[in-house]
Every structure is written in C-alpha cells, then in structure tokens.
Amino acid sequence: MATKGEQFAGLSVALVTPLKDGQVDYQRFAEQIEFQIAAGTVCLCPVGTTGESPTLSHDEHDRVIEFVCQTAAGRIKVMPGTGSNSTAEALRLTKSAEKAGADAALQVAPYYNKPTQQGFYEHYKAIAEQSGLPQCIYNIPGRTGKNIEPETIARLAELENIALVKEATGSMDQASAIISSTNLTVLSGDDSLTLPLMSIGARGVVSVVGNIVPQDVIALIAAFEAGNLSEAKRMHHKLFPLCRDMLGLSTNPIPVKAAMKLLGRDTGELLLPMTPLSDGEEALLRDTLTGYGLL
C-alpha cells in the first residue's frame, strides 16, 4: 500500500544556506539548487537545521523559502522548515511557505519548552487544519529536548494533512512502531540509518550528506528498491565515513559547510553561535574526503 506522502519517497536534501560576509549568497544558492536538480534529487529542504534556521532572521527565513521555490520552478519538490516552538509562529511560517509555492512543510517538534504529548498533538493539529500543505513531523529529541511518542504520531496520522515523519530519534523500535501503526511516509533523519530504516519500511531520507554526493545516496535507495541488497549494503558502507563525519566531527551544519568549502562549493561561512571546525577536525575531514575520492 502506498504511504500517505509517497511523492516524497527517495532523496530529500537538507540544504545548507550559503553565506557571504554574513548575508545569504543567493547566486551560490542557485548553483546548489541546480546541482540537486541535475542529480535527480526528489525534494529540497531549505531552512532546516542544516540551513541554520535558528540563526536566520524571520525575514531571511521567508526570503530563502521564496527564493528556493522560485528557483526550483516546479522542477523539484520543496519542503522547507517552517517549525517553531511557538505554534503561532510555525503557522505564520507555514502559510508564508504555502503562498511562496512550497509542496510540503517540515515541522520540527517544538523545542526547549517541552510540551506534553497532548501539547504536541494540538500544535500539529492546529497547523494541519489551517494549512493546505502536507505536513512532515520532524522528531529529533536530541535537539528539541523531548520525544514525540509513537502513540501521539499515530493519533496525528489520522489528520488529513499529516503525511510524513522525519525520524531522527535513532530508535529502530520507535520507527517500527510508527511504520506498523500508520500509513505515514517515514524518512530517515540520520544519513547513517537510511538503509536500516528502509529495511523496516521507511521510504527514503532527508539527507545532509546529499549536499555533497546526492548521486550516491540516490544509488543506495535505488539499489534497495530494486531488491539488490548487496549493492545497497556496499553503498551504505561506502557512504558511512562521510555520514559519520557530517554529524560526528561537530554540530551540524559545521562539518558539511567545511566539506563544501574544501570542495570549492561554498565559503564555509557560518552564523554565530556556530563556529568552524578546528584545524585537527578539518584535517580528519580532509582525510575522509580524500579517502572517498572527492579530493
């Protein structure tokens, strides 16, 4: 049976936000969008964690979404981050994204204020009922401070516009509970868990490493879908060092921006309080990129 957000199955890329002298570099941004379209990526996810959404101003957040939608021009799906720990602000961002032409909205769990499970339910229900966009629940308790329990997600799955889950709890049991009890489209929120999660029914990934090697992530997904498990495992192990470094060397998006700088595709500039890799960390990253064949 097709899942609820099946049109988003495959590779979605959590785009970095390229910066130059503290401002969004829209020329570089357009190049990165075209790179993803040419690679065959299914969906772009701007202004998520990887896109430094916590440090962009509200005006910049809206402008980035509008720019990505305009540049994509229907050639690729766009699912921007429009979440907030304020339901009113998440709804404002979501309506703005809908007006700009987004195809769906990525809604991170309300962070810091740690709602109850009923609070999570009411938050997502309010957004789903007041927006026409398919909604993707982004559950990442390591950043937000609290888990959206599978039972709550199962309740939310009954709402028409709740279509997807970006699963970043690291728990295969949690993912299994969601996949077995709902028809939501589950996407991995951890690059290194794409294949394990697809093996239990997930439909793809919202990827950080896809900023660098989208074709290889697509190849992993395609191999699994074709039943070629040996090739899927080979791609998993090939990608693993990159996946490990993107989330292990430092806080996302510090390593991926450093990697893109080394590859000549970004300035590597970050907005405070994010700071660059140390010299030692950058040397480790350079070794990984060299071992992968990228440098």
Residues recognised as catalytic? 138, 166
Residue with tokens 């969906």: 43
What's at 231, amino acid-wise? E
What is the DSSP annotation of 146-214? S---HHHHHHHTTSTTEEEEEE-S--HHHHHHHHHH---EEEESSGGGHHHHHTTT--EEEESGGGT-H
Angular region, 268: left φ>0, alpha ψ -120 to 50, beta rest: left
**Phi and psi, residue 206, nearest 5°:** -100, 105
| Distance between CA atoms of residues 75 and 55, nearest Å | 28
Cβ 17 vs Cβ 49: under 8 Å = no
